[in-house]
Chain A
Amino acid sequence: MDLENKSGSNGTNERYKSGVIPYKQMGYWEPDYVPKDTDVIAMFRLTPQPGVDADEAAAAVAGESSTATWTVVWTDRLTACDLYRAKAFRVDPVPNTGAGTNTEAQYFAYIAYDLDLFEEGSIANLTASIIGNVFGFKAVKALRLEDMRIPVAYLKTFQGPATGIVVERERLDKFGRPLLGATTKPKLGLSGRNYGRVVYEALKGGLDFVKDDENINSQPFMNWRDRFLYCMEAVNKASAATGEVKGHYLNVTAGTMEQMYERAEFAKELGSVVVMIDLVVGYTAIQSMAVWARKNSMILHLHRAGNSTYSRQKNHGMNFRVICKWMRMAGVDHIHAGTVVGKLEGDPLMIKGFYDVLRETHNPMNLENGLFFEQDWASLNKVMPVASGGIHAGQMHQLIHYLGEDVILQFGGGTIGHPMGIQAGATANRVALEAMIMARNEGKDYLAEGPKILDDAAKTCKPLRAALDTWKDITFNYESTDTPDFVPTPTTSL
């Protein structure tokens, strides 16, 4: 009796005899399966427990992330169970792992899920299957969700980014250059009045946005309402002082949805163009805020607070590119996605992959950048990536080279820590940016000539000279942990 091949029926008596049989024999392993255009496909990096073969581990992951439990149940036969079973259809050894290497054997397991396994427009439902029970499953020693292919049919059930890059630029009247931002520092402790001072100075000096940090909500030193009032005073005053649209990401993250809506409504009432939430509020709260933002013509900024707890280690958790995909579906307009050159984790090739997921209408498969699937974005708006963390004006050529034009460059310390003050810090960044964009458009080899372009621009801009002198030697040269599997040599941040 061939237990592995029972398509088109509810199986046989043999298959459904009470007891425990391998997942492979339960129908979760179908090496000949050709995924349908409407299937959700997930690709996991799998480290099987010793003695468990890779195919069986992959089948187990397929089983536990779809219909299976540990034992045979007769109630499967009341359903179209062949359809609902996820199917592991491909297992490849991961390059540079296993015998002869320093890393235990890992496998890339491809699993297909029928569209009907998922509720429309619900990241919570999608993730409850894909990263639900399965990550604690004993048969796998470690498991990492590397990438997903979301079918167009499913994408079309999501709103997507409330505003998107194109409309954000139109609303802000800012084209052809990255946007500039800064996070107010110190992160915690400033009173509302002192906090707004930083916002005003930075915006008047030339930034487009200032930002609340992820952990600024409503603490004893500054009630949220005070912060909102002083920040909007600063935004409007700076806008009048420069004749430019300005904004401050007001963080509406709170303990309950009701409080978040209350804060967002107040931000709207005050005329803010943008509100902000943290990734830790959860997928459903993010989707709710995206719907609110669309309804109220508001840009929705997302700080990826918490992601590195599960995205950084290579063998377990999930890759940040999957978070990027889910957040584009969930509907945020901005997401922090790495700097390459700054203080936080980020391999250049991997970050290119994240940025492509956020900004392109279609991603071809690109293993070097960690994109394991072709992905059509079905006209979902584009998400603006945000680069922040340890970057400064002296790196402008590298930032534009790696990150392109549709990005928000956030210089927190690089603005507020400027020796001549916050306005001067902002001006230094803006001059560096405009000079570099001008040089790029003129066809110069701006990456190679970057330092000279900055030096030349600094001749008519003292604040830029001071910034270059202050931070000239500051780089963060650490090996990345999340690196590509498909390049011959490892890459490091410049």
Chain B
Amino acid sequence: MMTNTDSRLTQGQFSFLPDLTDEQITAQIKWALAHGWAVSVEYTDDPHPRNTYWEMYGMPMFDLKDPAGILMEINECRKTFPRHYIRVMAFNSERGTESPAMSFLVNRPANEPGFALDRQETSGRTQRYSIRSYATDKPENERY
């Protein structure tokens, strides 16, 4: 079990708040759409902080204007991957940014075992650190 605040993975914009309701998720999607950002849904069972590329649940929704449609995708993804981490991302294509503008979790496994810190001692008291998710000792899709 993770021993940090709330015993949970803290990636994303709102991990320190209670889990978002569908209504709250809709409000955030509205904010993204109001800025003209494309919204996408991504999932993973490897929440390593350096695991950049979560699986895409479809492509970013460039032309959807209705938050309800996006919420539907989120709920489909939750149904398909109920024990995965799922995040909503928004992409800003504006010159000078051209990068994600939002990222927040909308689903997480019931049990979050967290990460081990492996140390390899080297010269001059230096240590090589690597972070390993306990869950990823198992194969993909059998982790949570």
Contact = CB atoms under 8 A, between A and B. Distances in A.
Interface of A: 166, 169-170, 173-177, 204-206, 229, 232-233, 236-237, 239-245, 269-271, 360-361, 382, 423, 427, 430-431, 434-435, 437-438, 441-443, 457, 460-461
Interface string B26-47: 0110110000000000000001
Contacts of A460: 18
B56 interface: no
B3 to A, nearest CB: 6
Interface stretch (B57-65, B66-74, B122-130): B122-130
B100 A170 contact: yes
A177 B31 CA distance: 13
A438 B126 contact: no
Nearest to A177: B13
Interface in B57-115: 89-90, 95-104, 114-115
A243 B104 contact: no
Contacts of B90: 176
Given A166-B98, A173-B11, A457-B17, 12 more contacts: A166-B99, A170-B100, A173-B103, A175-B102, A176-B103, A229-B126, A243-B10, A270-B126, A427-B5, A438-B28, A442-B28, A442-B31
B16 A206 contact: yes
A176 B101 CA distance: 5
A241 B3 contact: yes
11 contacts: A166-B98, A175-B101, A236-B129, A239-B131, A244-B9, A271-B129, A431-B17, A434-B15, A438-B13, A441-B28, A443-B27
A175 B31 CA distance: 14
Interface of B: 2-5, 9-11, 13-18, 24, 27-28, 30-31, 47-50, 52, 89-90, 95-104, 114-117, 125-129, 131, 133
A177 B15 CA distance: 12
Contacts of B125: 229
A327 B133 CA distance: 40
Given A175-B102, A245-B50, A460-B18, A443 B10 contact: no
A434 B52 contact: no
Contacts of B114: 240-241, 243
Contact of A241 (B2, B14, B18, B133): B2
Given A173-B103, A175-B102, A245-B49, A236 B10 contact: no
Contacts of A245: 49-50
Contacts of A423: 5
Instruction: Return the 3 tightest CB-CB contacts between A and B, nearest first.
Output: A441-B31, A240-B117, A236-B129
A331 to B, nearest CB: 18
B16 A434 contact: yes
Contacts of B131: 236, 239-240
A442 B98 CA distance: 23
Contacts of B2: 241-243
B116 A240 contact: yes
A176 B5 contact: no
A176 B11 CA distance: 12
A361 B52 contact: no
Given A176-B90, A240-B116, A206 B5 contact: yes
Nearest to B91: A175
A175 B97 CA distance: 12
A437 B4 contact: no
A242 B16 contact: no
Contact of B115 (A243, A360, A441, A442): A243
A418 to B, nearest CB: 13
Contacts of A438: 13-14, 17, 24, 28
Given A423-B5, A442-B31, A244 B14 contact: no
A241 B2 CA distance: 6
A243 B49 contact: yes
A405 to B, nearest CB: 9
B102 A176 contact: yes
A232 B102 contact: no
A443 B31 contact: yes
Among B9, B10, B28, the one with the most A-chain Cβ atoms within 10 Å of its Cβ is B10
